[in-house]
Every structure is written in structure tokens, then in C-alpha cells.
Chains A and B, each alone.
Chain A
Amino acid sequence: MEVIKIRSLKKIYNPDTVPVHAVDGIDTEFQSGEFTAIVGPSGCGKTTFLNLVGGLESPTEGEIFINGENISHKKKSQMTDFRLHNIGFVFQAYNLIPVMSAYENVAFIMELLGRPQSEIKTRVMELLDAMGVADKAGQRPHQLSGGQQQRVAVARALASKPKFILADEPTANLDSHSTETLLDLMLKMNEKEGTTIIFSTHDQRVMNKARRLVQMDDGKIVGNGKPEAN
């Protein structure tokens, strides 16, 4: 089933001065349950593409359909609500809320959604357990290692059972061991929860774990298919 459909997507920065075509006419789809890596050199438009799909930025041209709903022209406030209900995010720098414990960080989105405490407790502990950080539930981000923080961030992204998760270079700040562990856990959750996961990377080891590779260059998709080494 098609979760994301993208048509003639363009993002041009500084259109009136020095136009930068960060995303330059992309047409693609992402199916439910995919584990896709967006790859390409720095500055090729990976992050902008993810931001557009995640509704963090508005496209200059083109359309993005999430589960058949066109999100290209939604207002900021509508998009915030849409993201809350449909999209999970994992950032390169983890970006957990420092004044909240690991448990609270994961529970936060469910609380924003107004889910009952009993459901939140079960779901959060289940996710933390699955990500191997259940014993860190009461600890604040600064008490966790980078790898542990990113695992909590993945648990946070999964908490609301979103349609898909966007992860922008989730392993860029991790050592190889943590990278391996995190990707294995993400794959496991992808299989277990059936959540579509799209992540950007330029790390070959990470690309090897992906089930689909979308190659970008100069804002365009230049390759699309299964990774050779996988």
C-alpha cells in the first residue's frame, strides 16, 4: 500500500536572488512497511527532501500525498497537528527534551495526543524494552550515552504508531557499534510494527542495511532500487 506519493516536487531557496534548487522535480512513492535509505553526497538535497515529506517545509512546486491526503498546501498549524498524528521524527543530534526522563520523552507525544495514562505506560515501557533501554527509563538524556539517547529517540518516534518515520542521518553522531545496534533495532521495529521508515545517510554500512536505496544528486533522484550489497 502506498503511504507517500510525491509528484514534481521542487524546493527552491532564494528564488529572487541566487536560486538554489535543493529539490528539483522529484516523483516517487514509498510503500507501507518500507525501510528506505535516501543517500547521496552532502548538499544533494536529502535533508530538504525529508523536511518536505515531513511537512517541516513547504514545497515551491509539486505535491506530496500522505495516505492520499495532499499536505503541500496545509497551514503551519495544520501541519503541526498532521505531524503529531502521522509522522515520527528521529534527528541526527537525538534532540531529546533535556528536562524529561527517557520515559517522559517517549510518553510526551502520546500525552500530546491525549492518550490515557495506562495506555501510555504500557506502550512506552514496551518500546523502551524493545530498544534495550528499559532500565534507563528514569534517566535524563545527559545521563545516557549517544547510542542510548538515539534509541530513546527512535522509541519516541514510534510511540504514537505513526504512518512513517523520517530519520535524518540518525547514525551520524554514533560510533560503529552503536550504529549497528541502532539499525538492527530499527529494522526489528520496522518488521514488528510494520512502520515505514525513511532515513538519510551517506554511510555505506548504513546503506547496506536498507531494503531500498534512493540515490539523490543535485536535488534529483538519480537512482532507485535495492542495495547491491544487501
Chain B
Amino acid sequence: MKKIFILAWRNLWRNKKRTAITLASITFAVIIATFMRGMQLGSYEKMLNDAMRSTSGHLGIMGKDYWDDKSLINSMPIDDELGAILEKNDLVQITIPKITSGCLASFGDATRGVMVLGVDPEKEDFQSGMKNKMLEGEFLNSDHSIVIGKDLAKYLKAGIGDSVVLLGQGYQGVTAAGLYPITGIFSHPLGQLNKRVVYITIPTAEELFFMYGRLSSNSIILHDYTDEDKIVEAIAEKLDTGLYEMKDWRVMNKEILQGIESDNFFGVIMIGILYMVIGFGIFGTILMMTMERRKEFSVMIAIGMKRRKLLSVIIVEAVYMAIIGSILGLILAFPLVLFYHFNPIEFTGDTAELYYQLNMEPILPVSIKPGYMVSQFLVVLVLSLVASTLPLNTILKLDIVKVIRGRQ
């Protein structure tokens, strides 16, 4: 057995240039594939993280039917006992209560439909870092005030100190109306928020929408999203399913996940094409290595080496190439991936604007999850094994007498 590995290793270096070229092509493909896949997965992670951090959370507790009809009539009563359980649970990083409803915001002659978010300022800051996104003023330093996005302020031609009318429908159909001074203007990387969002405190929202002791939703952010099931289990008994329902991030970000799925499909096809080209390269090398040694193989069979053992020499050669090429590729790709993970590619101009319009931060971080890197290695390994199939057939069908006599 040991001899097979030694033989395969030496055979690999019989034609150093050819082996080096094949290894270089595998290495290069692994670098490209790893980086491409890393960018793709990184963008998905970013997308989901943005969505989870800034809106949905990892889990969301909401009133029954609220998910299908996001009107205040489907809001939920605050359950203090449930809240206490969540606050005490070590797996939970924070819970973020919200009252959400649409309104008209009006100042002077300008009016725009906005989303009013009633939030706990500290928790909201934790979730979306709003204090650092303030252009002017402060983020909800008092009740009975509002904080608006820069584009909305521009549209309304309103600034700090100006009072904006909010007009909408409150809980159970009452009219929600109020005049609130602007105490802060923010600039959020997610473009739509700058145009459409008005922040108020929860007490102000309760007053505006006339929904005391009620919330639209309570988002739960976990230290580790994989603990999601444990939390679901922990609160399952306490959750009155007649009043509440719980949604995980997959359900709450269904559209994003669907988008990711279709984008991922094309990404995988692109990488598949790249690997197919490399696969033919590996195949060519192994085929040449086999064809040029037919006489040697014939002699080996003649003196008593079983074809099965010869096949394993070829397979080990292919595996060696796959291992060396892909490990080299991963070693070279890793610093690149690491660099762009911590220094994401930033988009500017129209692309950035497009990202803002999609409510996404215009950056492209590269994922550093080890899973996809390991899969590059496995793909190359499988490719090499597949590529060695035809040459193996050559050995199985070798007419050793003809080959030794030089007639084949």
C-alpha cells in the first residue's frame, strides 16, 4: 500500500512542468472559486444580517394574524411574564419592542406617507446604531418628539425644531393625530429609511395610536442565531397561541431568502462552469499520464501487478493533484478572503444608490465561514476522481502484449 503512494508521488513529478501547470490551474480555480463564493455568501450574510439587525431580529413575537395583516388591530398586549423570561434568558441578547404603523407626515405644503416606528431609544440604538447615524440633533432624547431621515427632512423642507403633523389610523380605528417637533435627523445607509421612517418613543406611539399596553411586535436578537430552537422551546409553554405567534428569521425574511436562492443558483452555475474547465484540464493531464505509460503499465501487469493496484496508483495521483492544488489554492485565497472580510468592497455612484434603494448597505464583505472553503476542496477532489475514470478504463482494457510489442 505504501508503495502505491510512493509510486504515485514519483509519477506525479516525472513531468514537472505538466504537473506544475495542472496544479497551477487547480490552484487558480480554487482561488477564484473561493473568492467568488466568499463574496456571494458574504453578501447573503450581510443581507440577512442587515434585515435581522435592523428590522426582523432572529425571532419575532407578534399578535396573532399580525404577520398577514400588519394593522394595529392585530397588535398584541404586552405580556410581562413572557418579557421577564426572555430578559433573563442568557441566550437572548436583547428584545426590541416596536409599535409600527403607517401615517402621513406633513409640514408646510409637503406631505408624505411614512412608516412611524415607536421604539425604545436605547434598544433601537443597540439594534441599528441610530445614535451614530444622527446628522443633526439627538436620537429620541425625549418623548413627544420625532426623529426623521435626512431625505424626508429635505422633502418636507423641515429642520430641527420644526413641528411635523402625523396623521393616521390608530388602534381600533381611532384617528391618530399629533404635532411633534423634530429633535433629530438621521442618515441611514439603508436608503429607504431616510425617505420613509419617523422614529418616536413607545410612550409617544401609545399616545398617538391610542394603544396603551400594546405592541406591534417584539423582536428577539440572540447571541447566536443557531440557539433559535432553544428559545422557541423555552417560551413555547408560556406563549398563548390564541393571542400571539412567533416567527423565525426565515419566515420574516422570506423574500430575501428567495432572492438569495435564485442568485445562489446562478452563482453555483458560474462556479460549476469554472470547475468544469478545470476538470477537463485534470482529465487531460491524467489521460496523458496514463497513455504515455501504457507500456510501463503493461510490463507491471506482465510481471504480476494486479490491474486493480495499478488503478489505485492512478487514483492516488489524481488525489495528490487535487489535494495539493486545492490546499495551495485555499492557502493563497485565505488572506484575500480575510482582507476583504474586514475591509469590504465599498460601492459608489449608481451601484451604491441601487443598494440604498434596496435598503442595503452598499458594501460587499467576503464570508469567512469555513464550510464553503472546505467544499471547494471536496469539489476538486470529486472532480479529480471523476476525471480519472476514463484513464482507468484505458488500463482495464489494456492489451499488454500489443503494447509491449509496440503495436498499440
Contacts and interface: CB of A to CB of B under 8 A. Distances in A.
B302 A47 contact: no
Interface string B271-309: 000000000000000000000000110011111111101
A57 B404 CA distance: 12
Contact of B7 (A56, A99, A109, A157): A99
A132 B405 CA distance: 29
Interface in A69-103: 77, 80-81, 83-85, 87-89, 91, 95, 97-100
Contacts of A109: 303-304
B99 to A, nearest CB: 76
Contact of A99 (B10, B304, B405): B10
Contacts of A222: none
A85 B401 contact: no
Nearest to A55: B302
B400 interface: yes
Interface residues of A, number: 27
Contact of B14 (A56, A81, A83, A99): A99
B2 to A, nearest CB: 9
A89 B11 contact: no
A112 interface: yes
A80 B301 contact: yes
Interface string A173-209: 0000000000000000000000000000000000000
B302 A111 contact: no
Contacts of A100: 7, 10
Contact of B302 (A56, A98, A108, A112): A56
B3 interface: yes
B11 A80 contact: no
A212 interface: no
Nearest to A105: B303
Contacts of B10: 99-100
Contacts of B400: 56
Secondary structure class of chain B's binding surface, majority of residues: helix
A95 B299 contact: yes
Nearest to B402: A57
Given A51-B401, A85-B304, A109-B304, A97 B3 contact: no
A22 to B, nearest CB: 11
A54 interface: yes
A103 to B, nearest CB: 13
B299 A91 contact: yes
Contacts of B404: 56, 91, 95
Interface in B154-195: none
Interface in B359-408: 400-401, 404-405
A220 interface: no
A111 B304 contact: no
Contacts of B7: 97, 99-100
A84 B401 contact: no
A123 interface: no
A156 interface: yes
A97 B300 contact: yes
B305 A80 contact: yes
A195 B3 CA distance: 28
Most buried by A among B3, B296, B304: B304
Interface of A: 47, 51, 54, 56-57, 77, 80-81, 83-85, 87-89, 91, 95, 97-100, 108-109, 111-112, 156-157, 160
9 contacts: A54-B302, A56-B302, A80-B304, A81-B306, A89-B299, A95-B295, A95-B404, A97-B300, A99-B14
Given A89-B302, A95-B299, A95-B404, 15 more contacts: A54-B302, A56-B302, A56-B401, A77-B306, A80-B305, A80-B306, A80-B307, A88-B303, A89-B299, A91-B404, A95-B296, A97-B296, A98-B296, A100-B10, A112-B309
Interface of B: 3, 7, 10-11, 14, 295-296, 299-307, 309, 400-401, 404-405
